[in-house]
Amino acid sequence: MAADKRGGNKTIRDLVLSMLVLGVVVYLIYLFIPHDSKETPVKTETVGYSVELKQARRDAPYPVAGPEGLSAKWHATSVTYSAGDRRNVTWHLGFIDPDQQYVALEQSNGDPTGFISQVTINAHRDAGRTVAVGGTSWQYYTGGRYDALVREEKGVTTVVLGTAPDAQLQRFAATLKP
């Protein structure tokens, strides 16, 4: 029985020592990993998008839009082109505007209702509210996370969305060229 007690005490001692070592490791990880809760969750690294835009314009079954004439204060932060399903080709281009707000361009030739709901994170159409931008009419959508301007044309749905104010979304939409 004495051997069992010593073995039991040794096991408890090892457990306590292991927990102390683990606590020190967790503390060091916490100490060296940034954890600013006020930091924006939007990625702010600038990315180039001209190559992807050219590829999308050559490949997509619809006129792919891209901004022209944005000031250097606008920073592209994300770009994706997906053409795996030719009935649902998508184009995405995300930016941080001069006021550090998120603005994105989304396009697809897929189901407009599902696409709009997905990219706007379930924003709702603001019935009767349209905005004329550059001679083109856009439907306004409001949502919990993003507001959006939506234009549905034959074969393509274009969405400009973001956390930026309406005027900034309109300014961005005015720069879009096919």
Kindly state the average pLDDT of the residues 72-84. Answer: 91
Single out the residue of 134, 135, 141 nearest to residue 115, CA to CA.
141
Q: Do 109 and 88 meet the contact criterion of CB atoms below 8 Å apart? A: yes
| Residue 9 pLDDT | 66
Task: Name the 3-class secondary structure at 103.
Answer: strand
Q: Do 161 and 147 meet the contact criterion of CB atoms below 8 Å apart? A: yes
Name the CATH superfamily, with its identifier, for domain 50-177: MucB/RseB, C-terminal domain (3.30.200.100)
Kindly state the average pLDDT of the residues 75-85. Answer: 91
Contacts of 62 (CB under 8 A, 6+ apart): 89, 107, 109, 155, 156
Kindly state the average pLDDT of the residues 59-83. Answer: 92
pLDDT at position 4 over 60: no
Q: pTM here?
A: 0.74
For residue range 106-155, list pLDDT tens digits in order. Answer: 999 999 999 999 999 888 888 878 888 988 899 999 888 899 999 999 89
Give the C-alpha separation, 93 to 151, whole Å.
16
For residue range 164-176, list pLDDT tens digits in order. Answer: 999 999 999 999 9
For residue range 9-31, list pLDDT tens digits in order. Answer: 678 888 888 889 998 888 888 77
Q: Where are the domains of the chain?
A: 1-39, 50-177
108 forms beta bridges with 90, 157
Give the C-alpha separation, 133 to 151, whole Å.
11
pLDDT at position 84 over 90: no
